[in-house]
Amino acid sequence: MELGLCIEMALANLPFEDRLQKAADLGFRYVEMWFVDGTYQGRPDQLAKAAERNHVRISNTVIGSPDGSVGGGLTNPAHREQWLERARTTIAFTREAQIPATIVCTGNTVQGMTDEQMRASVMEGLKPTLEMAEEAGIVLLLEPLNSVYDHPGYWLTSSDRGAAICRELASSPRHMRLLFDCYHMQIMEGDLVKHIERHLDVIGHVHSAGVPGRHEIYNGEVNYAYVFKAIEAMSYKGLFGLEYEPSMDDEVSLKNTLEYLGV
If you compute the radius of gyration of the chain from its CA atoms, what whole number of angstroms results?
17
Query: Residue 174: its pLDDT value, please?
Result: 82
Cis peptide before 246 (omega within 30 of 0): no
Q: How far is CA 131 from CA 115, 124, 188, in A?
A: 25, 12, 30
The edge-to-edge listing of strands for the beta sheet with 203-208 is 57-58, 30-32, 2-6, 239-242, 203-208, 176-181, 139-142, 101-104, 60-62
Q: Report whether pLDDT(93) > 70.
A: yes
Task: Grade residue 8 by pLDDT with cuts at 50, 70 and 90.
Answer: very high
Mean pLDDT rounded to a whole number for the chain:
97
Containing structural domain, residue 23: 2-261
Question: Of all residues in the chain, what percent carry a pLDDT higher than 70?
Answer: 99
Single out the residue of 118, 11, 85, 117 nearest to residue 54, CA to CA: 11
What is the arithmetic mean of pLDDT over 195-214?
98
pLDDT tens for residues 107-158? Answer: 999 999 999 999 999 999 999 999 999 999 999 999 999 999 999 999 999 9
**Which phi-psi region, left, alpha or beta, contains residue 213 (left: φ > 0; alpha: ψ -120 to 50)?**
left
Task: Grade residue 170 by pLDDT with cuts at 50, 70 and 90.
Answer: confident
Task: Grade residue 172 by pLDDT with cuts at 50, 70 and 90.
Answer: low
What is the arithmetic mean of pLDDT over 50-60?
98
Residues 5 and 32: beta-carbon distance below 8 Å: yes
The per-residue DSSP string of 163-208 comes to HHHHHHTTTSTTTEEEEEEHHHHHHHT--HHHHHHHTTTTEEEEEE
Query: Residue 64: its pLDDT value, please?
Result: 98
Q: How far is CA 202 from CA 96, 99, 106, 165, 185, in A?
A: 25, 20, 17, 10, 16
Query: Residue 173: its pLDDT value, please?
Result: 63
Instruction: Supply the CATH number for residue 118's domain.
Output: 3.20.20.150
Q: How many domains does the chain have?
A: 1
pLDDT tens for residues 18-51? Answer: 999 999 999 999 999 999 999 999 999 999 999 9
Give, as one character, the DSSP assignment of residue 147. Answer: T
Query: Residue 59: its pLDDT value, please?
Result: 98
Question: Of all residues in the chain, what percent carry a pLDDT higher than 90?
Answer: 98
What phi and psi values does residue 52 have, to the nearest 5 degrees? -65, -40
| Greater model confidence, 162 or 174 | 162
Distance CA 170, CA 176 (A): 8
Check: pTM over 0.85? Answer yes or no. Answer: yes
Q: Report whether pLDDT(220) > 70.
A: yes
